A = this chain, B = another copy of it.
Amino acid sequence: MKFSWKQGTGLSENQLLPAKKKLEGYRKRLEQIAEHTDYAQPESSIQLSFDRTLQVAVETEVLHAHPKTVQDVVLIGIGGSSLGTSAVYDALSPTRALKRLHVLDTLSPINLRTVADRLRAHKSERAYTVCVVSKSGGTTETIANAMTLEVEIKKQHPKCLDRFVVITDEGSALWNRARERNMRVLAVPAMVGGRFSVMSAVGLFPLALLGVDIRQLLSGARKAVRDNTQNSAQNSARASAAIVHHQWKHGRAIHDTFVFNPELESLGKWVRQLTAESLGKRENLSGKEVRVGITPTVSVGSSDLHSMAQLSIGGPADKFTTFVHSAWAQDARVPQRSTFDRLVADAQAQSYNGIMSAIRKGTHAAYRSAGHPYVEVELEGLSEKELGAYMQFRMIETMYLAQLMRVNAFDQPAVEAYKSVTRRLLKRAKK
């Protein structure tokens, strides 16, 4: 993973020094936390990729799930329980022979029926695995979907519960229930929040079962933890946090993740959830009402290029952009001759990577001359290792950024607001 910021921001090393200095204590803390696997701190998600016990537990569970017969993996989970898995899967699946992933991440009778039909069509329940992922164990949509799916497929497959794997906090009501019924369970460490949990069983189990090389994913994540907790030039998470914070202080409170590979759109959505929920806070660390936050957006190049270029370049100076791209390993080439040649003469005989690179550079130049700042992330291939490194980089960047903004990256107090009304309405509807 290559992180470049100088050309796009016009900032110098010196301008990042005050933020670096402010973050030095916290960086040291992260460096220390990374040395353990005790999951005793809110930042303990950075320990996950070093946890060999976890890796073995996941791999054992995958073997138990009979990966050779599994064709479909259903993931029932919402937000942090599913976005990380989707991000990695969607980035890799177009070029890999992975098993099929179905995500039930909201209530949708249509999606539920499609998945139930597909599972019922299998002769044996060994053709699928259903992962029920809920950190708290009590997420309404997740449990409702698990209940409905179980009953829908039980008629055909009386033993379908053997194909359910539950991933939740140890000791949650869901955990206890699953144990009572002899279901397979995997724990999420209590201190690891949903949006930081992709390197725990939450992401690792479904991904490994689907055929993703989780050892490579973890290896990329480990390298990113080392790089981004050190006091060195490799610490791009700290640099990025300093830059985003600088831009935010200067009125750029919208952060666009502009991916130039369509298969990375889900990765952008994972980033969106991570940063929206971690940084949007009413109170700061001292308990003072501050109402701060950064609004994350996701754009896909070049599909969204006209509208985002028009808005970013023409519109108000309220945005900051992180461009993310990777060259395609299997490139294509525009032919020299075709019915449509000469309509865009410059594209004839050029490679797709080459044209895309010209489009990206054209975009960067236009952003620069409009004074619209950006940084660039280049993934050296769409591989497990690079994705692991990028995701870990983003999680640590978010922690640094929360420190600079002086908010708690790990709580989500406002979520309770809508949940309590929903519960009351559901209770009333039952009567």
- Identify which of B82, B177, B315, B356 contacts A339 (C-beta below 8 A): B177
Chain A residues bordering chain B, tally (CB within 8 A) = 124
Determine if A338 and B150 form an interchain contact, defined as CB atoms under 8 angstroms apart.
Answer: yes
A303 to B142, CA, bound (A): 11
Determine if A307 and B350 form an interchain contact, defined as CB atoms under 8 angstroms apart.
Answer: no
Determine if A108 and B414 form an interchain contact, defined as CB atoms under 8 angstroms apart.
Answer: no
A233 within 8 A of B: no
A146 within 8 A of B: yes
Residue of B nearest to A263 (CB): B110
Determine if B291 and A314 form an interchain contact, defined as CB atoms under 8 angstroms apart.
Answer: yes
Complex contacts, A48 vs chain B, CB 8 Å: none
List which A284-333 residues lie within 8 A (CB) of chain B: 291-293, 295, 297, 300-319, 328, 330-333
Majority SS at the chain A contact face = helix
Q: How many copies does the complex hold?
A: 2
Determine if B181 and A339 form an interchain contact, defined as CB atoms under 8 angstroms apart.
Answer: yes
- Identify which of B95, B340, B419 contacts A150 (C-beta below 8 A): B340
Q: Which of A67-75, A117-125, A275-283 contacts B (4 or more CB under 8 A)?
A: A275-283
A352 within 8 A of B: yes
Additional A-B contact list (19), CB under 8 Å, known A147-B340, A362-B424: A108-B328, A110-B328, A113-B332, A138-B343, A141-B355, A253-B316, A253-B318, A273-B307, A277-B307, A280-B311, A281-B310, A282-B314, A293-B311, A297-B297, A306-B415, A310-B413, A350-B430, A362-B420, A370-B417
Interchain Cβ contacts under 8 Å between A and B, 16 examples: A132-B340, A140-B344, A140-B359, A144-B352, A147-B335, A148-B335, A148-B338, A195-B307, A254-B295, A276-B310, A280-B307, A281-B314, A346-B426, A358-B426, A359-B422, A370-B417
**Interface, chain A (partner B; CB < 8 A):** 78-79, 82, 94-95, 105-114, 132, 137-141, 143-144, 146-148, 150-151, 161, 173-174, 177, 181, 183, 195, 253-254, 261-263, 272-273, 276-277, 279-282, 291-293, 295, 297, 300-319, 328, 330-335, 337-341, 343-344, 346-350, 352, 354-359, 361-363, 365-367, 369-370, 412-415, 417-427, 429-430
